[in-house]
Amino acid sequence: MENIKEQQHGSGEDLLLRVGLNDNKAGMEGLDKEKINRIIMEATKGSRFYGNELKKEKQVNQRIEKMMQQKAQITNQQLRKAQLQVDRFAMELEQSRNLSNTMVHVDMDAFYAAVEMRDNPELKDKPIAVGSMSMLSTSNYHARRFGVRAAMPGFIAKRLCPQLIIVPPNFDKYRAVSEEVKEILADYDPDFMAVSLDEAYLNITKHLVERQSWPEDKRRYFTKMGNPAENATAGKEADTLGERDRAISPLLFEDSPPDVPPLESPFHGNSEEQSGPQVLHNPVVFGTSAEEVVKEIRFRIEQKTGLTASAGIAPNTMLAKICSDKNKPNGQYQVLPTRQAVMNFIKDLPIRKVSGIGKVTEKMLKALGVVTCAELYQQRALLSLLFSETSWHYFLHISLGLGSTHLARDGERKSMSVERTFSEISQAEEQYSLCQELCRDLAQDLQKEGLKGRTITIKLKNVDFEVKTRACTVPCPISTAEEIFAVAKELLRTEIDADFPRPLRLRLMGVRVSGFPSEEDRKQQQRSIVGFLQAGHQVPPATGPAPEGMGTDLLPKPPETTLKKKSFFDKKRLERKEGHQDALKCDGTDEQNLQTSHTVQVLKRTMNENLVSENLPSLGTFTCPVCCQEQGGVSLEAFNRHVDTCLEAPSGREASRVWLGSGAAAAEVSNKENAHCFFSCGEKQDDQAPPKSAGLATGGPVGLSSEAQSAGTSSPNHSKEDHTDLPEHSYHNSAWEGQGASLFGEQECPQPDVCEVTAGRALVCPVCNQEQKTPDLTLFNVHVDICLNKDVIHELRNNQDNLVPQLKENSRSSETSLSRVRKTSAKTKRPTLMKTHSASKKAKPSNTTQTIDTFFK
């Protein structure tokens, strides 16, 4: 998407300074900067959003203050020493400078808005934006003159420009157009890298070489005249901007014309559109230089889609990206591949233009007197003392005009998440219900890509825009809605409990899954399973596929161990209370942990031994631990495939429900021990260890081209839809473990109630005795949870001394954990910077002592 860096409004002074970079020429339509800023401030001031912006700004200022204090303590000697070290590194970077690649950054102009204008002629010549009243993704250039920008709420935009037309986004359409563009790009670099729907990097080095020997025919294109109304809409709009004179042609651009525009042989050459009775006119031949290639690309894009693109050409991606912004819209710019050209280009460039330098970094550097890249270079020694190594290495790269010269293949995905903003929700029931909905959506997405992850993170934003995240890592990868919700619910509960009796006043909730097993992890897993089986272990019959009926088999008592020991989340809460996060992990108590480490070692040894035996004849008879059928005369691979299939099948999933640490689902499979060994994560081997479904990762790695979409809509959709797909066990899982267990004592889980619940009749809350209308067990459990909490608080208030001791402790631990959590705030010891670009090579020891102060001369 187009660079919106300067368009984002910050707060306070920033907000005023940052908005509206419009150079309004006298007499032109639009607003001047002052007016824009005044309107924005009027709409913003006093809002909760603004309050939070101010708060964040204060934090940044504190960070800067600390940095300045540090700076004041730096001695000249330290600085000299740093200078030598930094210059040594700079010298190495300089020596590795690579100018031999031609990188291109292509960026569609006002993409979403341009598509909408193309498809609806009525929108032409009008200020429009794509998005909603809450948030805009893009605006056209007409609207920008009023200060209407991406990432601006629609209602503010409307105040700036009452005529503004806000078009709801249409991502399917944008995706389709994007695909058309990508088809073109692939002709020049089959390995091009799409950054988003409207932005891509290409390495055209190879294409340029091949192109040198291409005949003209291969470089000849025709102007399509078929549907002139829709043609070049965006280009025309660009023309009206008056940024430069493009009167000659909306298609062929600024500077140099194509090499030779011969008019002969109109029947050879290329045409973007194969179908349709279009008349082809104006043959154009593009040259063989990089500039010509990029013109050709942009020409073809416009011919094919009716939309204009801007582009940058440079010896690396960092520069190419900056270049594409230079002559936007509908223009291009090249930095020639010489060191001198690069340094000239960089010299006066504001660092903020560089991808990776955001608002905060800009402000911090500005405090050190660094605004341009040349200044960044001048202060290199100081920066190396004030920032982390990653950061100053990054800075040094920038100030030398260095960047990536190859396009990294998309790596494996590291996380997947859903989040939603809504109007305030403060009722716990609603919050749980929403959480469940998010988990369902997320599970769907995960399963589409065959992913399972171990870490679940919830994100909460309250009505004051304060954001909190809470995470938990479980022993084995999970992916179903039930599994994820079971964890997320507990994380949410901890937060709700912590603030009790005040409600959490939420405006956003999100759920994320990360910690996907790597390729290596999966292989490891596979090996350990094979090894285990080859070691001759047998799996005794399990309960078999889950019955359909409502038999008591489906309602196992919580395993005794669950009640005897603290639940997983109780432990988590305890951790917070005691303030030592590291002591206890997701599995087990201290003693167990000690045992575990021993067990793991034993297990590892066993696995290694088994690995050796992998060469043994591998045909044999195995019993599938999921379906309990004997598989005779099969290879291990075939057997594993069978197990995979069983696990994927609904009944298999049922039988191997994940262990979430609470132990609540553990009783589901009667052959706990063996099942666990089979699916072992290599962490525990005792008989409390649960069965889990993640032992065999069947989903392959997914190379995704993450096409981030700027969502233009906020959907305040927190409807409580059906909640009918949760397993009966969630009853135990949520209501009775934890407080429930202590309420009713260890042995007496209220079985009668459970039976009543699961018999499909009325759900009667065992705490308040009220019949609950919800058909959903999890929601019912949530209700019981809340009732239990009310009970606790009520009793605390009225009858403190008569409380069951354990109960009192529970409620206290919640309180203390909260205050602890709350107190964790900004803890920046030393100004740091995060960067989103691949780290530089580490400095190797070097003997070079030469100085490089002449870089900018």
Chain residues 119-148 in contact with DNA, contact rule CB under 7 A: 133-135, 137
Instruction: Among 265, 415, 751, 819, indicate the residue that binds DNA (CB under 7 A).
Output: 415
Is position 708 an interface residue for DNA (rule: CB under 7 A)? yes
CA angle 479/713/725 to nearest 5° reads 30
Cβ atoms within 10 A of the Cβ of 205, count? 17
Q: Least distance in Å: CB of 369 to DNA?
A: 17
Binding segment (CB under 7 A) for DNA, from list 625-633, 690-698, 780-788, 822-830: 822-830
d(CA 695, CA 655): 13
In the bound state with DNA, the residue whose beta carbon lies nearer, of 474 and 529, is 474
Strands 193-196 and 136-139: unpaired
In the bound state with DNA, the residue whose beta carbon lies nearer, of 416 and 765, is 416
In the bound state with DNA, the residue whose beta carbon lies nearer, of 269 and 358, is 358
Q: Least distance in Å: CB of 577 to DNA?
A: 13
In the bound state with DNA, the residue whose beta carbon lies nearer, of 425 and 624, is 425
Among residues 742, 623, 724, 733, the alpha carbon closest in space to that of 667 is found at 733
Q: Least distance in Å: CB of 725 to DNA?
A: 21
In the bound state with DNA, the residue whose beta carbon lies nearer, of 115 and 784, is 115
In the bound state with DNA, the residue whose beta carbon lies nearer, of 804 and 839, is 839
Distances (CA, A) of 536 to 245, 539, 616, 636, 813: 81, 10, 12, 13, 47
**What is the Cα Rg of the chain in Å?**
32
Residues 6+ apart with CB under 8 A from 475: 454, 586, 587, 659, 661, 681, 683, 684, 692
Instruction: Among 76, 77, 212, 824, indicate the residue that binds DNA (CB under 7 A).
Output: 824
Quick note: the x/- pattern for DNA over 47-76, rule CB under 7 A, is x-xx-----x--xx--x-------------
Instruction: Among 574, 803, 821, 843, indicate the residue that binds DNA (CB under 7 A).
Output: 821
d(CA 580, CA 574): 9
Instruction: Give the DSSP per-residue string, 382-430.
Output: HHHHHS-HHHHHHHHHHHTT----S-PPP-B--EEEEEEEEEEE--HHH
Q: Least distance in Å: CB of 610 to DNA?
A: 24
Among residues 692, 635, 646, 649, the alpha carbon closest in space to that of 669 is found at 692
| CA 431 to centroid of chain Cα atoms | 23
Q: Is 672 exposed, middle or buried (0-12, 13-18, 19+ CB in 10 A)?
A: buried
In the bound state with DNA, the residue whose beta carbon lies nearer, of 10 and 283, is 10
Among residues 660, 664, 688, the alpha carbon closest in space to that of 675 is found at 688
In the bound state with DNA, the residue whose beta carbon lies nearer, of 114 and 280, is 114
Q: Are 479 and 647 in contact (CB under 8 A)?
A: no
In the bound state with DNA, the residue whose beta carbon lies nearer, of 143 and 741, is 143
Binding segment (CB under 7 A) for DNA, from list 69-77, 78-86, 651-659, 833-841: 833-841
Is position 227 an interface residue for DNA (rule: CB under 7 A)? no
Binding segment (CB under 7 A) for DNA, from list 149-157, 525-533, 636-644, 796-804: 149-157
Binding segment (CB under 7 A) for DNA, from list 268-276, 470-478, 733-741, 794-802: 470-478
Beta-ladder partners of 194: 200
d(CA 106, CA 114): 15
Count of residues touching DNA (by CB under 7 A): 96
Q: Least distance in Å: CB of 470 to DNA?
A: 4
Q: Least distance in Å: CB of 572 to DNA?
A: 9
**Binding to DNA in span 627-656, by CB under 7 A:** none
Q: Least distance in Å: CB of 724 to DNA?
A: 24
Is position 5 an interface residue for DNA (rule: CB under 7 A)? yes
Q: Are 103 and 313 in contact (CB under 8 A)?
A: yes
Quick note: the x/- pattern for DNA over 502-521, rule CB under 7 A, is -----xx-x-x-xx------
Q: Least distance in Å: CB of 825 to DNA?
A: 6
Phi and psi of 165, rounded to 5°?
Answer: -100, 120
Give the tokens for residue 643.
């197990």
Binding segment (CB under 7 A) for DNA, from list 25-33, 388-396, 645-653, 674-682: 388-396
Among residues 692, 729, 688, the alpha carbon closest in space to that of 556 is found at 729
**Binding to DNA in span 169-208, by CB under 7 A:** 195-196, 198-199
Q: Which amino acid is at 698?
A: T
Binding segment (CB under 7 A) for DNA, from list 25-33, 466-474, 688-696, 744-752: 466-474
Q: Kindly tell me the sign of the dihedral angle through the C-alpha atoms of 586, 590, 592, 597.
A: positive
**Binding to DNA in span 307-366, by CB under 7 A:** 321, 354-362
**Binding to DNA in span 547-586, by CB under 7 A:** 581, 585-586
Q: Are 464 and 52 in contact (CB under 8 A)?
A: yes
Q: Least distance in Å: CB of 827 to DNA?
A: 5
Instruction: Among 416, 504, 530, 784, indicate the residue that binds DNA (CB under 7 A).
Output: 416
**Binding to DNA in span 589-608, by CB under 7 A:** none
**Binding to DNA in span 421-440, by CB under 7 A:** 421, 423
